[in-house]
Amino acid sequence: MIALAFLVYALGEWALRRGLAETESSLPDQKGKPTQRSTLRWVFRLFIWVRLVELEGRPLVLNLAPRHEIVARLLGAGRYYLLE
C-alpha cells in the first residue's frame, strides 16, 4: 500500500515539474526564489490557507493567488478551484 502512495506522489511531482517546464512557469521555493523543480510536498503547503466556502448559496474560493491557479491548472484541478 505504501508503494502505491509513493507511486502516486512521484507521478504528481513529475506532472507538476513537467508542466512548469513546458509552460516556462515557476513557483516560489521555501526561500521565495522562483524554481521549476518544486516538490509536491511544498506545493501542498502552499495550499494550506486556500478555502472553499459557500456564501448565499454560491461557492467561493478564498485566498487563491496566481501561483495556486498555475498549480491547479497544471495538475488538472482547475474546476475544483472554480477556475473553469
Q: What is the pLDDT of residues 1-12, one digit of tens each?
A: 899 999 999 999
Eight-state DSSP code of residue 5 = H
Res. 82: pLDDT tops 90: no
* pLDDT value for 11: 95
Q: What is the pLDDT of residues 34-73, one digit of tens each?
A: 999 999 999 999 999 999 999 999 999 999 999 999 999 9
Res. 14: pLDDT tops 90: yes
DSSP 27-83: EE-TTS-EES---HHHHHHHTTT-EEEEETTEEEEES--HHHHHHHHHTT-GGGGT-
